[in-house]
A = this chain, B = another copy of it.
């Protein structure tokens, strides 16, 4: 008798927070799984991804320090592997899309190392980047235009100045830490009116602020700033 084959692990992007932006395939995978898991950040009251799932979700505490992606992947793998080894299908929820600033890749790598027989499936989702653009009524790129996506924790003013000259659209994620120098930089470059601050797109807490004016929550970790040459299409 051969041992029971392991279950499938599916990474599902639940989108930016609006349950309506979950995909049909994502919803089906969540409903069919033996168990659904999601990361829970220590500094947050609950998982947005779990709230979208509409069924019980096992929340795994996640290390939120910078560079902790590989460690988080190991921790999630340890929590999920018993279900998979027992033959149960598991779903791992990520906010936005699993391929863009998610720990899904680290988790998949950790599972592949520990139990190579586990089938791995990725169900893409609506990313926070395009959801923010949609909330602002903004086109990121059309035709031959170009887009750069960078985390605000990574870049400095000189790098952003270079990107602004090089790309049609620059998306700065995790923008909170960059705001103190980003606003004067954009003003000095004459680009402030082409910039929009967006946080929590697609949720009741959504905020869209053109010109980065009158921000309600300038310290929101998940806020982004989008700067598009020429602003909106007219």
Contact = CB atoms under 8 A, between A and B. Distances in A.
A21 B120 CA distance: 17
Interface in A117-136: 120, 122-127, 130-131, 133-135
Interface in A85-128: 97-106, 108-109, 113, 120, 122-127
Contact of A100 (B24, B105, B122, B141): B141
Given A20-B23, A106-B142, A130-B97, A149 B151 contact: no
Nearest to A20: B25
Report the copy number of this chain in the oligomer: 2
Contacts of A78: none
A104 B139 contact: yes
B67 A143 contact: yes
Contacts of A106: 139, 142, 233
Given A146-B150, A150-B146, A108 B126 contact: no
Interface size class of A (residues with CB under 8 A): 35 or more
B21 A15 contact: no
Interface of A: 13, 15-16, 18-25, 27-28, 66-67, 69, 97-106, 108-109, 113, 120, 122-127, 130-131, 133-135, 137-151, 153-155, 167, 202, 232-234
